[in-house]
Amino acid sequence: MLHDGEISWACLFGLLAWRLWKNQNLFIFQKKSWSSSKIIKVSMCWAKQSSLAPRDELWGILDGLKLIQRRGHSNVVIHSDSLEVVKAFHGNVSKISDSALIRRIHRILSQESHWTLRYIPREENQCADYLAKLAFERKEDLQLVETPPDA
């Protein structure tokens, strides 16, 4: 898989080093450890996930879902302009996904009965596109907008 360009060696090496360190701590503090094959498998899954294009959007969705949950909203519709992201959460695909990020988002969505994720083309949601561009200009960690701006 490394030779097909699917996984970056630099990324995989870093993840393996991190996972080995975590495994050593697990052994020292809890007297448990992972097998070497499990360490490699998990590291390769994370490395593969890091190479997927929409991961920034996935992290944004996860952060947004957690924020919405904390605020106690019950009826939520999330619009995404990434058809690939939306497809990842429909059907059984996310239940068997190797991506921990996708599984976490799917778990939150499945816990909330009136929450949905829908695809909407960027050109049909100019307000969200405007807000996303505004967020990149301001470079702040979190921006909460209660009502869309007039622009």
What is the residue whose two structure tokens read 């007039």? Answer: 150
Are residues 112 and 69 in contact, defined by beta-carbon separation less than 8 angstroms? Answer: yes
Kindly calculate the radius of gyration of the chain based on its CA atoms and give it in whole angstroms: 18
Q: Return d(Cα 29, Cα 23) in angstroms, integer.
A: 10
Domain extents in the chain: 9-51, 53-137
The 8-class DSSP code of residue 78 comes to: E
3 state DSSP class of 48: helix
Quickly name the fold that domain 53-137 has. Nucleotidyltransferase; domain 5 (3.30.420)
pTM exceeding 0.75: no
Cα separations in angstroms, 11 against 17, 25, 36, 51, 114: 10, 21, 18, 9, 38
Are residues 48 and 7 in contact, defined by beta-carbon separation less than 8 angstroms? Answer: yes
pLDDT in tens, the chain (151 residues): 454 556 778 888 999 999 999 999 999 999 999 999 999 988 888 777 666 545 667 888 888 889 889 988 888 888 888 887 788 777 655 445 657 778 888 888 888 888 888 898 888 888 777 777 777 777 666 667 777 777 6
